[in-house]
Structures are given as structure tokens and as C-alpha cells.
Chain A
């Protein structure tokens, strides 16, 4: 296959991969961010201690996270068909990706928010802030650099998952690499698709690092 043809193939792969990755990340955060906040504030000794709820949430998240993505993808076929209209194709894979990623996002958010100095929360309470105000004005802004860093990690993780889209009739770089490399022995295409994946991950991670540093005012 000529370089031109490979590039056309890989370029479409990049677009498909991005089309699966970014909306999935967005919806995973829509669910995972509030859940992560809830995981933190419901801890014992935090601003809205609810130990039972905290334990139950933790168990559910651990359960979801322990199912391998490929299996979750298959298990979710009936649900995906209802939610997305169809269970196969590039677009419909967004739903299982979200379901698989949001517990991971919740844990990342939890980790970031736990880094916030408890003294700040105490100061916020002493000022007469409500729970919602503490979340909005203290927890999230103070954890922002860490949250952005976590988001870069989440995006790259979801991007890696999209490689399995081929199993459900989806496209993308992973599908190209498997179809051409494994099935047709066209290793040039496989390498090109893999390099494109690596480059995408690198760009996202580098942008994430730059943004994290730019947002962090803790250093002089």
C-alpha cells in the first residue's frame, strides 16, 4: 500500500478515534465528577459525612471497574441498543465507553479532591459557607490543576479503550491496526496506525501537563 493510501486510512482513523474518545470523556465526567465529589464529601469527618452511602458507592464503583472493557461491551449490548439506537458502529461504542470510564473518572476526581488541605475546608466552614459553596468555591478550584492532570490521564485511558471498538463494529485506529496488521499482514498500516495512537496520547498528555502547570499558583 502506498504512503498516500496509508495516510488517508490513518487520517480517517484519527478522526474516528477522536470522535469516540472526546464525547465519551465528556459524558464520563458528567457522571464521574459529581460522583467523585460525593465520594469525598460523604467520607467520615468530611463536610457531609454519610459513611453507609460512601461504602455502597465505593463498592459499586469497584464492581464496575473490575469488569474488563471487552466483556462489559458485550454485556451492555441490549442496553446500548436502547440508549444509542443500535449496538454496533463507531457512534454506539460511546455508551459502553462512558459506562466503563465514569467509575474510573470518579476515582480520579476523588483522589484530586482529597489533596485539598483540610484546613481550607475548616476555614470555609468558619466563614459560614454552605456545603455547595465549599464544593464550588474551595474544593473544585483548589483541586483544579490536579483535576486537569487527572482528565489528561482519563482521556488517554479512554483513547486506549477505543482500540477495542472493532469488536463491536466500530472504526478507529485500533480497528485499522488489527484489521490490516493482524488479519491482512500489512504491517506498514499497522505501524502507521499505532504511531498515530502514540502521537495522540503524547499530545494529550503534554497539553495536560502544560495546562496543569499554568493553572497551578502554589509555586512562586
Chain B
């Protein structure tokens, strides 16, 4: 296999069991996952699905019960001491709560990985400046984390994570404590880092918007098991798993049988421009359309998201609606919703 096509991370038969005996909890069950070099790979699931355990196994903050993890072809399961620490410098991590040292300035925080690596003082100072420039915080070098906003703290954490020149960046709910605007800017920064430095990024999240904005691959995890995986476009337009449908808001968390109704789901995957498609359809067909819900985002002038329409009673009207929308280039499917 050539250098460029060898997967960055391969997870094989990973199982993690906490506790023993009666109180035993299986957090992950036979997880197999491949992350390619240069990907931004999203791992999405509800709270307690096992996604945090999974990402913590990748840099061995957590030790799997069974299975293998290969990073760049190297099995990391047997690493100990200095070898384990060397591996962790190649696989950086950012966190939901930022985890910055509160008694040290921004510059000192970013310098820590360089200090550990034994980089000379002069060289480290230059590198810190460079890193702070990348995240747009060169003017905050002397500030303490308590003086920064959440978004700025995460930028410092990203600069710190990049200091060791990693090949992989693990992001554990890094935007979950941030407001939507700040989330957007942090995600844009991560995308920029991925493109400019070729760093493979693995993102853990429970928010579909995060996956849609920057990931190219997605893995849906539910109850410690992978239930769906593939390219983001593919998984989003043809969601098969019920966990996926819940995460995409097609069905609510707790539904009763009699609350389920049939609906038509339209997926906007960025291929349509900002056109009034539904209005056009109504005007052209003269058919009324009832919108049940819509969750749309505009990124770079393109429409992403989904819309749920109520299904007409008659079969003929259904056909007319479905075909009419498909002719306009939309991805349409019949779903059960709540």
C-alpha cells in the first residue's frame, strides 16, 4: 500500500467493558472503523452512546478491553511509557471544557507541548507566535484564560494541540459549550487546519449541524455499536438507522405508535441554490403544501438541511407532489415521523 492511501487510523474489534460482575457496563461492542488520511471524520451519537470512550481509546486515555487500534499502521495497544507519550504527541486532543491551565498565560499554555518536547526557548517563542497567529489570537499572548471568551479559549486549546505538529487531531465535543456563531467559527478554523496542514481530524459530537458543516465521513454510534457509516452526503440523504433518524430530527426521542404520521422528507444537500423551490412548486402545480418542520442552514450560498411535508391523502396527489419535487432536483423520500 502506498504512503498516501494507507489509512491513518484503523480500529479493529474494539470492545470496552467498564467494571466487573453484576455492575459491568459494555461501553463499546466490536467497533470497526477506518479513518483515512486527511479526512474530517465525524462520530455522532446521543449521550452515553460510547463516542467519548471511543475517542479516548484512540490516544489511550482509556484502555480498551479487546481489539486493536492502528495509527499509521502501528499498533498502539502495546505501547508503554515513553513510546506511549511519543504517540500522544502525534495525536493531539481538544476538549469541550477547553482544559487550559488557568494559572498560565495564553502563550505559556501553547508552549507547554514544546517544553515537553525539549524545544529551545527561542525556537519555542517563535513557534508560539506562529501558532497564535494561525488561530487569530496573537494579541492575547499575555492574557490569562479567565480573561477570554469560550471561543477564544477553544482557539488557544487548538493552538496548543497544534504545537506538537500532530498528524491527527481528536475533538471531543469541542463546540458543545459554545454558541452557534462561535461554533461556526471554530469549525471553520478546524476545516482550515485540515486543508492547510493536512491534519486528519476526528470529531465527536451530538450535533448534526457540526457533521454537516465540516465532516466528509460520518459514523453513527448507538448503544456502543456502530449503526451507520459512510460519506456525509450518503448518510444524510439515505438515513437507514433509527439512531440516525433521531439525530437528524426525523423522529423525536420518545414517540408513541399512534403519534407517528407519514410525511415526505426533502433533503437539501447543497446542490440547490437559494431558490424558492417550494413556492415555485405550489405556483406551478396549484397544489397546497403543508410544511411540518424545516431545519435549514445556508453555507456558502448553498442550502443544507431538511424539510418535512405532510403527505396528501390520495395516492395521485402523493405521486404528483413527489414527482414534482424530484423534477426540481430535490432528494425526496417518504418517512414516518412524530
Contact = CB atoms under 8 A, between A and B. Distances in A.
Interface of A: 117, 119-120, 122-123, 125-130, 133, 137-138, 141-142, 144-145, 215-220
A218 B89 CA distance: 27
Contacts of A130: 85
Nearest to A133: B116
B194 interface: no
A119 B112 contact: no
Nearest to A142: B103
Contacts of B100: 120, 123
Contact of A120 (B89, B92, B101): B101
Contact of A127 (B89, B97, B102, B147): B89
Contacts of A133: 116
Given A119-B97, A120-B99, A137-B115, A126 B147 contact: no
29 contacts: A117-B97, A120-B100, A123-B95, A125-B61, A126-B61, A126-B88, A127-B89, A127-B113, A127-B164, A128-B84, A128-B85, A128-B87, A128-B89, A128-B164, A129-B85, A130-B85, A137-B115, A137-B116, A141-B101, A142-B102, A142-B103, A145-B103, A215-B103, A216-B103, A217-B104, A217-B146, A219-B146, A220-B146, A220-B147
Nearest to A125: B61
A46 to B, nearest CB: 13
A219 B99 CA distance: 16
Given A122-B61, A219-B146, A220-B147, A127 B116 contact: yes
B95 A119 contact: yes
Contacts of B144: 217
Interface of B: 59, 61, 84-89, 92-93, 95, 97, 99-104, 112-113, 115-116, 144-147, 160, 164, 170
Nearest to B117: A128
A37 B116 CA distance: 21
A138 B61 contact: no
Contacts of A122: 61, 95, 99
A215 B102 CA distance: 11
Given A120-B99, A127-B113, A128-B164, 6 more contacts: A122-B99, A123-B93, A126-B61, A127-B88, A130-B85, A218-B102
Contacts of A138: 101
Nearest to A126: B93
A22 B144 CA distance: 33
Contact of B92 (A125, A126, A145): A126
A112 to B, nearest CB: 13
A217 B89 contact: no
Contacts of B147: 220
Nearest to A215: B103
**Which among A127, A141, A215, A217 has the greatest number of chain B C-beta atoms within 10 A?**
A127
A204 B59 CA distance: 46
B177 to A, nearest CB: 12
B41 to A, nearest CB: 18
A123 B92 CA distance: 9
A125 B115 contact: no
B113 to A, nearest CB: 5
Nearest 4 interchain pairs by C-beta: A123-B99, A128-B88, A128-B85, A217-B144
Nearest to B143: A217
Contact of B112 (A137, A217, A219): A137
B102 A217 contact: yes
Contact of B101 (A128, A142, A145, A215): A142
Contact of B99 (A119, A129, A216, A218): A119
Contacts of A216: 103
A111 B147 CA distance: 26
A125 B99 CA distance: 12
B100 to A, nearest CB: 8
A128 B93 CA distance: 11
A94 to B, nearest CB: 32
A218 B164 CA distance: 26
A216 B101 CA distance: 12
A125 B102 CA distance: 17
A129 B59 CA distance: 13
Contacts of B93: 123, 126
B23 to A, nearest CB: 15
B99 A127 contact: no
Nearest to A137: B112
Contacts of A120: 99-101
A144 B103 contact: yes
Contacts of A128: 84-89, 113, 116, 164
Nearest to A122: B61
A126 B170 CA distance: 10
Contacts of A145: 103
Contacts of B102: 142, 217-218
